């Protein structure tokens, strides 16, 4: 018998379904990155401006206290005095009008920048205040929720330790205007104690007690005849 060879049919590979890739969480961009770059650029420009203007080192409060302060509205008065000094030729090596005039001009040239910077600084303070206020309001809400959760979570309670200590701290209540400080109260008590010892008559008597000559009058002792003009029967 003739054997017939069967043709081998090639088997097709079983299709494998692709494994879905694990999504990588996208990093959210920093919303303040552009602001930080702008601030860094502004700070650099301020440094360059200080160099251009020739800003000296900061004046200490003690130096300001010792320095002569210009009276409000004194700029035109100083200019008049300078003109009169040159007119009457009272200048000397120790008393020159030119440096004074140059200083007045320098102050006048810087005033517009001072006003603009002060206005800008006020706006920046407002921006910082609003940002901090909004952030702190949210932080307080988060703290309220976490405190309730910490009642049954010891690990969370421990982690909240620094926050709880910060929230529990209370600043001293400022004294109302006109109220003495603690040091002044101690000084007053000490003074009253000394007055009681040395001159008690200077202390104010409590209300309800008579003062003055009427209070010092004493009743005559029993058996003592009354003073005054004699009475004739």
**What are the distances in angstroms from CA 26 to CA 19, 34, 88, 113, 183?**
20, 19, 80, 45, 60
What is the SS3 string spanning the chain?
CCCCCCCCCCCCCCCCCCCCCCCCCCCCCCCCHHHHHHHHHHHHHHHHHHHHHCCCCCCCHHHHHHCCCCCCCCHHHHHHHHHHHHHCCCCECCECHHHHHHHHHHHHHHHHHHHHHHHHHHHHHHHHHHHHHHHHHHHHHHHHHHHHHHCCCHHHHHHCHHHHHHHHCCCCCCCCCCCCCHHHHHHHHHHHHHHHHHCHHHCCCCCCCCCCHHHHCCCCCCCCCCCCCCCCC
CB contact at 8 A, 205 and 211: yes
Position 12 scores a pLDDT of: 60
Tokens 């770059």 belong to 37
The C-alpha R_g of the chain, in whole angstroms, comes to: 44
Tokens 């000490």 belong to 190
- How far is residue 126's CA from residue 228's CA, in Å, rounded to a whole number? 83
Per-residue pLDDT of the chain (233 residues; tens, 9 = 90+): 455 555 555 566 566 555 555 555 566 788 899 999 999 999 999 889 888 888 877 888 898 889 999 999 999 999 999 999 999 999 999 999 999 999 999 999 999 999 999 999 999 999 999 999 999 999 999 999 999 999 999 999 999 999 999 988 776 566 666 666 777 677 777 777 776 777 666 655 545 544 444 444 445 555 555 555 555 54
Position 152 scores a pLDDT of: 92
């Amino acid at each position: 018998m003739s054997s017939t060879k069967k043709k081998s049919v090639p088997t097709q590979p079983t299709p494998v379904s692709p494994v879905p890739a694990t999504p990588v969480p996208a990093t959210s961009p920093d919303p303040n990155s552009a602001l930080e770059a702008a601030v860094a650029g502004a700070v650099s420009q301020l440094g360059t401006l200080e160099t251009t203007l020739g800003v000296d080192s900061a004046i200490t409060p003690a130096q300001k206290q010792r320095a002569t302060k210009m009276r409000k509205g004194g700029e035109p008065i100083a200019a008049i005095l300078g003109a009169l000094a040159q007119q009457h030729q009272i200048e000397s090596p120790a008393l020159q009008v030119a440096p004074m005039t140059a200083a007045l001009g320098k102050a006048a040239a810087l005033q517009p920048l001072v006003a603009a910077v002060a206005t800008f600084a006020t706006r920046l303070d407002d921006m910082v205040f609003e940002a901090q206020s909004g952030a702190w309001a949210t932080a307080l809400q988060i703290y309220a929720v976490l405190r309730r959760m910490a009642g049954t979570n010891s690990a969370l309670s421990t982690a909240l330790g620094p926050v709880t200590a910060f929230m529990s701290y209370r600043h001293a209540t400022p004294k109302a205007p006109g109220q003495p400080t603690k040091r002044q109260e101690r000084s007053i008590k000490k003074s009253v104690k000394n007055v009681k010892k040395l001159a008690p008559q200077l202390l104010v008597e409590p209300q309800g007690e008579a003062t003055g000559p009427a209070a010092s009058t004493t009743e005559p002792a029993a058996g003592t005849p009354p003073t005054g003009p004699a009475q004739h029967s």
